[in-house]
Amino acid sequence: MSMIETAAGRFHVSSDGPHTAPALVMAHSVAAGLTMWEPQVAALAQHFRVIRYDARGHGGSVGPARPFGIDQLGRDALSLLDALHIDRAHWCGLSMGGMVGQWLLAHAGDRLARVALANTAAVAGQPDGLNERIRLVRQAGMTAVADATMARWFTPGFRAAHPAVVDRIRALVLATPPHGFTACSGALRDMDLRAAIAGARNPVLVIVGSQDPGTPPAAGRLIARRIAGARVVELDAAHLSNVEQADAFTRALLKFLLG
């Protein structure tokens, strides 16, 4: 892992796999970080140069305390590709990372090859919920939302069976700078990419969680209907399907990326 200076600022980045392999960028959920993808890295790094990064205001990356939109998060990703001298990359994004992926499809599709959009939406389906979480974090910090976040991100059965995994992800939430969480949450609340993604021509896989309360299967299927040729895979999981159904997620992703 290292810090990379880009035109958009400094970002905390990890690279795994052969430097000469096709690049795959993995973008995480709000209130998480690049380590969220650890269940997938070993398998993916056999085929790809796997690049993970902490989003703006998360982990070790830049995060000025000011509002911004989804376009800023998209430009951050492009700046990172430029700094790493990558002309074109595959993309896998979950939740916020999937929203960034949609912005890139709409505005910089030539920089992307195959695109996986997991547990995400083209428009905020619950803006009041985002506003309430922003309010709570501004008042009391990330501890105010940590437990409720775990309840949304994992099914009750998974939380009971895998407490150590849930605790690891909860620690990511607690470590997220409050200003990064509130700014990114505001960007997601205000975005609407439904019209913009209709012109996307990249191969797209949409992964949905059958028990995801935040970005339910209907939200993912709407994305797939907007993008010609997009395919949908449904996993028995809540929001963090790459953790709750790690093996199935990895298999579906590899099958898609390898064509």
Is residue 65's pLDDT more than 90? no
- Angstrom distance (rounded) from CA 183 to CA 114: 28
Q: Would you place residue 213 in the very low, low, confident or very high pLDDT band (cuts 50, 70, 90)?
A: very high
Query: Domain tally for the chain?
Result: 1
Q: Give which of 103, 122, 120, 114 is closest to 229, Cα–Cα.
A: 114
Q: What is the mean pLDDT of residues 56-75?
A: 91
What pLDDT, on a 0 to 100 scale, did the predictor assign at position 88? Answer: 98
Residue range(s) defining the domain that contains residue 131:
2-257
**Average pLDDT over every residue of 66-79:** 95
Within 13 Å, how many C-alpha atoms sit on residue 45's CB side? 15
Per-residue b or e along 223-249, where b marks 16 or more CB atoms closer than 10 Å to that residue's CB: bbebbeebebbbbebbbbbbbbbbebb
pLDDT given for residue 244 in this prediction: 98
Q: Model's pTM, two decimal places? A: 0.97
Query: What's the rounded mean pLDDT across residues 234-256?
Result: 98
Greatest extent of the chain over all pairs of C-alpha atoms, in Å: 47
pLDDT for res 62: 84
Q: Is a pLDDT exceeding 90 seen at residue 133?
A: yes
Q: What is the pLDDT of residues 79-129, one digit of tens each?
A: 999 999 999 999 999 999 999 999 999 999 999 999 999 999 999 988 899
pLDDT at 127: 84
| CATH number, position 244 | 3.40.50.1820
| Rounded percentage of the chain residues whose pLDDT exceeds 90 | 95
For the stretch 143-196, pLDDT in tens is 999 999 999 999 999 999 999 999 999 999 999 999 999 999 999 999 999 999
In the chain, what is the straight-line distance between the N-terminal and C-terminal CA atoms, in Å? 29
The strand pairing partners of 102, in sequence order, are: none
Per-residue pLDDT at 63 exceeds 90: no
Q: What is the mean pLDDT of the chain?
A: 97
